[in-house]
Amino acid sequence: MIQVDDRDGIRTITLNRPETGNVLNVGLVGELSHAVSGCETADGPKVLVLRGGAQVFCAGGDFQAAAAGDDLDPATLYDLWTRLATGPFVSVAVVSGRVNAGGVGLAAACDLVLADDSASFTLSELLFGLYPACVLPFLSRRIGGQRSHYLTLSTQAIGAAQALAWGLADAVESPVDGLLRKHLLRLRHLDKAAIGRYKQYRSELDGVIDGARPLALDANRRMFADPAIKAGISRYVAEGKFPWEA
């Protein structure tokens, strides 16, 4: 489900489920968590680069798994994002193509988001009677409450230029590989212990992620336990129809 490459103190993790849009399920999140753990040790890689596909970075949660009752524990996903946001390494999301729902949370949790011109970001949850409870603490930390509110309510995609203007992307350039190389020239020389101390300070300074965790997990679990929402997801998987469609 993922590919991992270690080179010169940099761990590159590539999401490798193109047939599903790199959706987040139990297996993928488990593999990601294991790969991230290798960067948390004192002698582990100091930079973690997270990549998706050329057309889709990550399409969000796995509705087929949810419809089958194989729900991903939101705590597992929230804790993975927390580790990307606060761990003693620099996490870099390299984004091409579509980023949706939980994929937005995955990118927003990273320290840096580098995107190419094809990148687009969408929160589609309200179309299914859900809302991005676990995504919002990470997204609001990046772009603020009102812009996160707008993305949630509008369910519309914003392109790379808008994401850059709002702070969801930190830099945009095509091809994105050149942009990544420019950043890695500096990042690879940072002291790992210093990275860890700084990120710990930053997480304590705002307190958003840890403070929001109980509320976010409770909200997520209540939504996915709602029979009407579960029926709407199952119908979408089976028929490709949104809940309001006849």
Just list the catalytic residues.
Answer: 62, 125
User: What does the angle CA 128 – CA 95 – CA 12 come to, to the nearest 5 degrees?
Assistant: 120
What's the sign of the alpha-carbon dihedral 103, 203, 212, 143? Answer: negative
Question: Position of tokens 């997204």?
Answer: 139
What's the sign of the alpha-carbon dihedral 182, 117, 161, 195? Answer: negative
